[in-house]
Structures are given as structure tokens and as C-alpha cells.
Amino acid sequence: MLEISKREQIGALILAGLFVVGVLIKFVFTPQPAQLEVQTVEEPAATTEETGEILVHVAGAVYKPGVYKLPAEARVIDALEAAGGALPEADPHALNLAEPLYDGRRVYVALKQQAYAEQENNSGKINLNTASVEELQQLPGIGPVKAASIVAHREKNGPFKSIDELASVNGIGPSTLETIRDYLTLY
């Protein structure tokens, strides 16, 4: 029969203890993914007029990003407050805090560096990676549906790496792309 010496037993116990401590340290010090605060709807969706409420997605540099139910007359400042406020490294004043919200709106709070980079861009062009649906509608030939498709594509796939990637957005063909190309920037 195989005999284990006291020294080997102590060594095995120490190794087991170190393993347990390592697992605990990893669990405690590993950042956990942010939990999105999403309110589920159990009944068929009622219109904004029926409920007097809207759903707004608050993203970016806020304490609690997520989807929030707000009164129909809410403003951007109300959405920021619902999300716990802007982080210290955020620039909430890059947004129009008094702007009225609408159902389905996404409010993105940029970091100060991002907002500063946008202010540096004095070209008058629209930033494809940060523009809202309303801003994109200022482009020739871009209405609410195409603008919403651009924002949805960006949210699903991440920032555009080139203007040419717009061709992969539903509703943006080669002629539309060429028409709006000179009005766009990525920075």
C-alpha cells in the first residue's frame, strides 16, 4: 500500500489551501459585467399616448446604463438622472440636457475625450459614430427610417471603421452613399 509522509500531506494541504485562496481572489477581484436595468413588459405594448410613458435607452459613461420607463414629457436630464447620473469622466454637457425625449430614443453620454475630439472637428461634418437619428436626418436623402437603420447597425456591430461600411446598412445603396459621403466623418 502506498504511504504518504506527513511532509507530503502538509504540502498537499498547503497546495489545496492556496488553490482555494486563488479562486476566491479571482472571484472577488474580477470585475463583473454591468447589469443592464431593463424593464420587461408582460402585456402587449401600449402606445405612448395610452400610457403617458416612453422607453429610453441610456448608454455610455453613466452609472447604470439601461432601458428606462420615463414620463412622455421627460427631457435628456431626466434620462441621465434615471441612469444614476454621469460618471466623473463623462461630459454630459456635450448633450442638450433640456432636449425633449421620445419613445425609443437612445441617449449616449460620451467621455470628455470623445466630446473634446468632436469639438476639435470644425469641419461641420456629421460624426457617423456618434450622430443621433435626428442628426443623421440632416443628410440629403436620409429620412427617419434610413437614419434609424444606420444607428441600429452601429449599435449592433460597433463603430464604423470607414464611411464605406455604410453600404452594409439596409437601405443605403451606392448612390446614397456617394451623395452623403462628403457630409460625414468618423471622428
Residue-by-residue pLDDT tens, the chain, 187 positions: 556 778 877 877 787 777 777 766 766 665 555 444 444 444 445 555 678 899 999 988 899 999 999 999 999 999 999 999 999 988 888 888 888 888 888 888 888 766 555 554 546 788 898 889 988 988 888 999 999 999 999 888 888 888 999 999 999 999 999 999 988 988 7
Do residue 107 and residue 126 come from a single domain? no
Do residue 179 and residue 135 come from a single domain? yes
Question: Among candidates 77, 64, 60, which has minimal Cα distance to 112?
Answer: 60
Domain tally for the chain? 2
> For residue 77, what pLDDT is reported?
94
Q: Does 20 fall in a domain?
A: no
Average of per-residue pLDDT values in the chain: 81
Q: Does 37 fall in a domain?
A: no
Whether 151 contacts 133, CB under 8 Å = yes
Alpha helices in the chain (DSSP H): 6-29, 48-51, 76-82, 112-120, 133-136, 144-157, 174-180
Structural domain boundaries, residue 144: 121-187
Q: Does 9 fall in a domain?
A: no
